[in-house]
Amino acid sequence: MKHILIFFTALQLAPLAVSETAALDFHKEILPVLERRCFDCHGADKQKSGLRVDSRAALLKGGDFGAAIVPGDAAGSHLVEVIVSSDDDVKMPPKGERLTIAEIESLKKWIAQGALWPGQMDAVAEAKITSSHWSFQPLAKTFAHDSLDDFLGTAKTPEADRRTLIRRVTLDLTGLPPTPEEVDAFVKDKDARAYEKVVERLLASKHYGERWAQHWLDVIRYADTRGYEYNSLRENTWPYRDWVIDALNHDLPYDQFLFQQIAGDTVGVDPATGFLVTAPLPTPPEIGQEPNAIKAARFNALDEIIQNVGASMLGLTVGCARCHNHKFDPIPSRDYYRMLSVFSGVQYESRPWRTSDQKQRIDDLQKTEARLAELRKELKKFPHWRDSGAGQYSDHFTPVKAKFVRLTVLATDEVNNGPAFDEIEVWAAEAPGIAPLNVALAGRGGKTTSSGAAKQLGSKDEFLNDRKTGKDSVWVAAKRPPVWIEVELKDALDIDRITWSRDQDLFRQDPNRHKTRLSTAWRIDVAEHAGEWRTLIHESRSNGLNVTAMNERRYLEEEMEKLTASLSTLKTGPEVFAGKFTEPQLINILMRGDPQQPRDPVGPGGLEVLHGFELPADAPETERRTAFAKWLSHEAAPLTARVAVNRLWHHHFGSGLVSTPSDFGLVGARPTYPELLDWLATQLITDGWSLKKMHQRIVMSAAYRQSSFSFSRKHAAQVATTFTRAPHRLDAETIRDSMLATSGQLDRKMGGNGVNLFTRKSSFAQWKPLNVPPTGANRRMIYLARIRGADDGMFKTFDVPECGQVKDKRSDSTTPLQALNLLNGKFTLEQSAALAQRITTEAGADLPKQITRAFQLTLARPPGEHELTACLAVAQSDGLETVCRALFNSNEFLFLP
Amino acid sequence: MNCTDHTKHLDRRSFLSNIATSAGGIALAQLLAREGLFAADEKPQPIRPNIDPGRPFGARKPHFPAKAEQVLIIFCAGAVSHLDTWDYKPELYKHHGKVPPNAPKVTFQGPIGNLAKPFWDFKPRGQSGKMISDLVPHLAELADDMCFIHSLTAKNSAHTQAENLLSTGFTFEGYPSLGAWTTYALGTLNENLPSFVAIADPRGRPQAGPNNWGSGFLPAAFQGTAFSADEPPQNLKTAMGVKESANKATVDLLAKLNGEHLEKHPGNTDLTARISSYELAGRMQSSIPGLMDIAGENVKTLEAYGATSSNVIKAEYARNCLLARRLLEQGVRVVQLFNGAYASGGKLNWDSHAEIVSSHGAHAEILDQPTAALLRDLKQRGQLDKTLVVWCTEFGRMPFMQANGTGRDHNIEGFTCWMMGAGVKPGISIGSTDELGWKAAEDVKTLYDFNATILHLLGLNHERLTHYFNGTERRLTDVHGHVIKDILA
């Protein structure tokens, strides 16, 4: 990447040296001050705020807040700012005596004179950022082994029995239990590929995507509400959730999976960028009207994007560099703000969704808008042209000076009625320093008169220029044409357009009904002084044009009318909450993250330590995200691939090879088995970034298939490497979905708007579970609307993320409140009843058979002798549903074996 | 280095190994020294609570001995005007109706109006002669027990963000609440009850809702349990139509099934923890109903609290106060008692942007008598000796009116909260706002300082009660906060 080398030449110095007084003695007047007052905290031993002041290059390079000095500009130098400041948060030195006035003046003078540092004038700012930290290194090139089992040594414990194995892999890959038939088939299958076939079937199942999408959505705290106080529904978030499920099911290569979430709009995949805008965000009324608060809120919104990208894709806590250089990782503040600049055009809004059938529509819309712009340009060469579409009629003409404007209607589309208008606009011509403006408005001094308004209909001349449209503010002529309406402007000035409308509201509702009292022929007269009328536009509209020119104009106008009419249809279409991309804002490094303290401006770029790209500060919006997305799977690939395979490992084994899946930085955990992690990352890339192949590799391994697994070995560099795969509690989604699947109530419909199980009492964050569940309530949990903070009375206690902060792994707590919910919750009672019903239907009248069926459905095995006896007794005394209720609460049901 | 993996607190294996390997910070320091990229400041080392997954709420020792074992947080949502309650500003009477000097044109909600004197009279109270307004006459009688902090400042003028800051130390969503941090560190004194109870106002939840009692990135076990006098914890009882015999049969059968299962997995403590959680649930089912039944209270007590008031909201809030006392008596570690609900133009909470006289008047009528009765009761029963009481509100209100002339806008630059009880000096005031009561002027304190002090009073070092999350050791006080030593008894 490019580095800015800062040299200081004598040529630049010359004029300054003249303007200031006598030269300073650096070694006597400057260096001792720096040594005495600054070096302790900003020297070789310590670099508070990432700043050193013990060399000229270091001063130029600066610290967290940009350059410390700007040679020649004392007032603009951060160093001067802090030594003169009296603000406790800013002033330097922070404690003890301040610099003397003489010392301050010397330093100012020194900087003003070019900050001459004898012997260092050719020194350049410190070399680029490098790091020896493991996760920033290239992937290992050679490996001692070439299969997972070889890496882990040969299997030491026997493979789990088939019922356990199929239950484990099915719950793990799909989040649903295997059916008794699937279990049976596998138990009986003599084929050596029996297990492999199961794995292939599961990876091909649509339920795989539903299961693994949730892991990803956790990290980026996807939800369907805005959070904070209003916490209202965010419309059209679901296409992103569906996109993630679909991408996983179709095994979209992981590099593209990343690319599309950053810049999917550039390849026609709109929902994917929903990734950028999942964070909770306060709405404008919750931010308030103070300008500083509004500015700060925007930076917070951008920071949330960095949190998402950093945690999920890079496995780095880039956000820590917002207020100062990252305390631990080689991420300077500059990098943070460069990343911010990449996303600085992203707004948390919806945009049109170009689905495959919608793509044509959007393309047509864009083409139409482009053609309209061309037409306007072409029509400008005529002294007069008319634009009549979408219920508004505009006469454009070469600017003319006028104070009085009169529109005389000569005919309407109805023989018996006079015309109607809801508004007439007279537009001042655009000129240097003058914006086009409707000067007819009463608020701008316009006065309207007419040949007579229909008073019996409540019509008034004031309706013509009151800015109000619609039936309560429509001027209706008292008689049939010819009639006129007139505007007297406040002052005579150059105008170039007159626009009128019949009834814009009515037009929007029904363009046909709008065709009553509609003017069809008119003339426009203007006067600079009262009474001195001259006709600006004749009824014939010839205005001195010959027939050929008039025909040419007519063709253009007709095309324009047609295109304008088609616009509104083209504009309506589905939308997706996937960010709106607007002109990027110029980003400065912010001192202490404070928008009120901007420092050096920065352009968009990637992390320097990972050879990040760098674009100019005025790079187009799309280019920024595209460059970033490409960088992720190219220069940053060693890191992104490691993060990806570790995430898969984490979910398959219960903990990752790196136990902090979203922090691969210096504070994060180190990989317990670095060679294995690198080998897996290399395999991911070699496999064309296929996630399914990685899943397959992992679940096919002996380690995964053993009844329980633990691995330990001595390590050259570290004490030991150990990890285990042991039973752990299912997460909320899997418990709920499994209950529904076994009770036979699971609705397997995929996709679409989230099913909302809550109702919002009053207008604020008071979501309560609905008493009567809506249609679709029994769909998989991933298809339920995720309402931030809402308590469903069942599963919130099972560590469902709050969706406020990024969440790479859930805790699996065990609490009495979980027990109460699962024992007594309405959901459990309903599903217990449904399961009882199901087994009665499926197993016939024989009670032991019914109980056996219940065990097969819930636990993938028949009951043992004692279990059957105990269950029979309970079924007889308290009903089958009581047995089912106990099964749903049992440890065996709730744990991934 | 595995020292940063702290999410599996409730995992027996890590519980057992924790004892041997809790030297995380040392490893980190070595790592940093080796990397040599950035100098590490010397930081206090984390103290990790040693949580037995079989008894996640078992009482744990504080970092150092402390008088306060429990805490009651009285949370007035919507922002109480300090100028009309606790912070007496004689200058405001002089400047009433004048244009405020050096004021911005626009504050949180919009254009500003003129300075306005307090809407209630101030009188000296108690031995200390503390000036408190007639808006809260019952609470004012307790002036000699209160310890006021008049110079608090917040960071964000919006209710939700400010409530988040007060309750979690961050303006954003998703950070653990003070109650969660406290019970994470200390467990509770009575495992048959939830360790942390959030009692919502009868009118609804506060603006930041469950963030105020959320567990953030701590295990969900430490989130507050929401219930109130009129609304028992969810699922304490089975839905209608299930016979008691069926409930018993379920629990008995479950015990058998789990017992058989455990035999196949001997020594698996995750499984045994789950089994004991059902036993604990059973004990809660028997202990909570009695606790919520206030029929046993004598009429005098009920009247003292205002539980018999014809103002039904006041009566219900009074019952919440009674519940709070009972919870504390039974050893619940943290009780959060809300007064005021969500935004509603000042109707349902203290957010009096307009008509402050009627709005604050109505809320004070609900707050004053029951809260004062609760505090007196706690004191008389000796409960205050081991309970810290915190009265708080997310920020204050402006000394000038809004453009509407009848309400005060949000003020984060100076406001008042108070404490009383275990560990706190009674009858003192620290810090002050400027002469108009607008900005904190002397002994300026942040909400980080406030929360650091609460933790300190509970025997917890706010810099060492941390949890690794998203790249750093997070704490209730972010990277700020100094214990307000002046108020420590």
- A281 and A324 in a common domain: yes
**A288 to B157: CB separation less than 8 angstroms, yes or no:** yes
Task: Read off the pLDDT band of A48 (50, 70, 90).
Answer: confident
The whole-model pTM stands at 0.76
CB contact set of B485 (below 8 Å; sequence gap of 6+): none
Cα torsion A356, A361, A367, A371 to 10°: value is 170
* A–B CB contacts, 8 A cutoff, strictly below: 302
User: Are the Cβ atoms of B261 and A46 closer than 8 angstroms?
Assistant: no
In terms of domains, do A310 and A407 share one?
no
Residues A873 and A809 reside in one and the same domain? yes
Interface contact A878-B243, CB threshold 8 A: yes
For tokens 């109607």, name the residue: A420
Contacts of A299 (CB under 8 A, 6+ apart): A340, A590, A593, A595
Which are the contacts of A873, defined by CB distance < 8 A and separation ≥ 6? Answer: none
Residue A227 lies in a domain: no
Question: What tens digit of pLDDT does each residue of B406-444 get?
Answer: 999 999 999 999 999 999 999 999 999 999 999 999 999
Which of the given ranges, A128-137, A369-378, A732-741, B257-266, has the highest pLDDT on average?
Answer: A732-741
Task: Please answer yes or no on whether A667 and B245 come within 8 Å at the CB atom.
Answer: no
pLDDT value, residue A69: 86
Tell me: do A346 and A469 sit in the same domain.
no
Mean pLDDT on A853-858: 98
Residue A758 domain-assigned? yes
Which percentage of chain A shows pLDDT scores above 70? Answer: 93
Q: Are residues A530 and A613 in the same domain?
A: no
Compare all CA atoms of chain B with the CA of A665 and give the residue at the minimum distance: B471
Nearest Cβ partner for B159 among A133, A229, A806? A229
Asked if pLDDT for residue A14 goes beyond 60, the answer is no
| Residue bearing the bigger pLDDT, B483 or A563 | B483
Residue A210 confidence (pLDDT) above 60: yes
Give the per-residue pLDDT at A155: 60
Taking 60 as the threshold, does the pLDDT of residue B11 lie above it?
no
Query: In total, how many domains does chain A have?
Result: 4
The arithmetic mean of pLDDT across residues B322-343, rounded, is: 95
Query: Residue A325 carries which DSSP code?
Result: S
Q: Average pLDDT in the A801-822 region?
A: 88
Whether residue B168 has pLDDT greater than 60: yes
What would the CATH number be for the domain defined by B70-235+300-487?
3.40.720.10
Closest CB to B235: pick one of A327, A789, A825: A825
**pLDDT for A515-538, tens place per residue?**
778 898 999 999 999 989 999 999
Nearest CA-CA partner of B56 in B194, B177, B168? B194
Q: How confident is residue A723, by pLDDT bands cut at 50, 70 and 90?
A: low
Whether residues A519 and A591 fall in one domain: no
Residues A513 and A393 in one domain: yes
Same domain flag for A735 and A854: yes
pLDDT value, residue A46: 81
Q: Please check whether residues A605 and A537 belong to one and the same domain.
A: no
The alpha-carbon gap from A199 to the nearest alpha carbon of chain B, in Å, equals: 26
Higher-scoring residue by pLDDT: A273, A844: A273
Helices assigned H by DSSP within A497-546: 504-509
Kindly report, residue by residue over B211-225, the tens digit of the pLDDT: 899 998 898 889 999
pLDDT at position A88 is 78
A761 at interface of B, judged by CB pairs closer than 8 A:
yes
Among A544, A573, A593, give the residue marking a domain's end: A544
Which domain does A443 fall in, by range?
383-544
Residues 324-353 of A with CB under 8 A from B: 325-330
- Together in a domain, A324 and A409: no
Strands B147-153, B445-446: pairing is: parallel
Higher pLDDT, B185 or A62: B185
The amino acid at A653: F
pLDDT 10s digits, A356-397: 777 788 888 899 999 999 998 999 889 999 988 778 899 999
Q: Which residue has the higher pLDDT, A266 or B26?
A: A266
Query: Are the CB atoms for B58 and A65 separated by under 8 Å?
Result: no
Query: Are residues A810 and A870 located together in one domain of the fold?
Result: yes
The answer to whether residue A501 is domain-embedded is yes
Name the residue type at position A90: V
**Residue at a domain's end among A87, A112, A137:** A112
- For residue A170, the SS3 value is helix
- Give the amino acid at A257: F
Residue A860 lies in a domain: yes
3-state secondary structure at position B138 = helix
- Work out the minimum CA distance from A268 to partner chain B, whole angstroms: 33
DSSP, collapsed to helix, strand or coil, labels residue A229 as coil
Q: Measure the CA–CA gap between A821 and A804, rounded to whole angstroms.
A: 24
Burial (0-12, 13-18, 19+ Cβ within 10 Å), A566: middle
Show which of A62, A93, A112 is a domain's final residue: A112
Verify that A395 and A538 share a domain, yes or no. Answer: yes
Inter-chain residue contact A669 with B258, CB threshold 8 Å: no
What does the pLDDT look like over A413-424, one tens digit per residue? Answer: 877 788 999 899
Contact A805 B246 (CB under 8 A): no
Higher pLDDT, A560 or B132: B132
Domain boundaries, chain B: 1-43, 70-235+300-487, 244-283
DSSP annotation string for A613-646? -B--TT--HHHHHHHHHHHHHTTTHHHHHHHHHH
Name which residue leads in pLDDT, A126 or A520: A520
**Which chain B positions have a beta carbon within 8 Å of A662's beta carbon?**
470
Whether residue A355 lies within 8 A of chain B, CB to CB, comes out as no
Q: To the nearest 10°, the Cα dihedral for A35, A37, A38, A43? A: 40
Interface of A with B in 23-52 (CB under 8 A): 45-47, 50
Alpha carbons A884 and A822: distance in angstroms, whole number: 12
State how far the Cα of A115 lies from the Cα of A107, in Å rounded to an integer: 9
Residue A388 lies in a domain: yes
| Nearest residue in chain A measured CA to CA from B275 | A891
Q: How many residues does chain B have?
A: 489
Helix (H) or strand (E) holding A184: helix A180-188
pLDDT tens per residue, range A572-623 = 778 899 999 999 999 999 988 999 989 889 999 999 999 999 999 999 999 9
Token look-up 């009672």 returns A829
Within 13 Å, how many C-alpha atoms sit on residue B363's CB side? 30
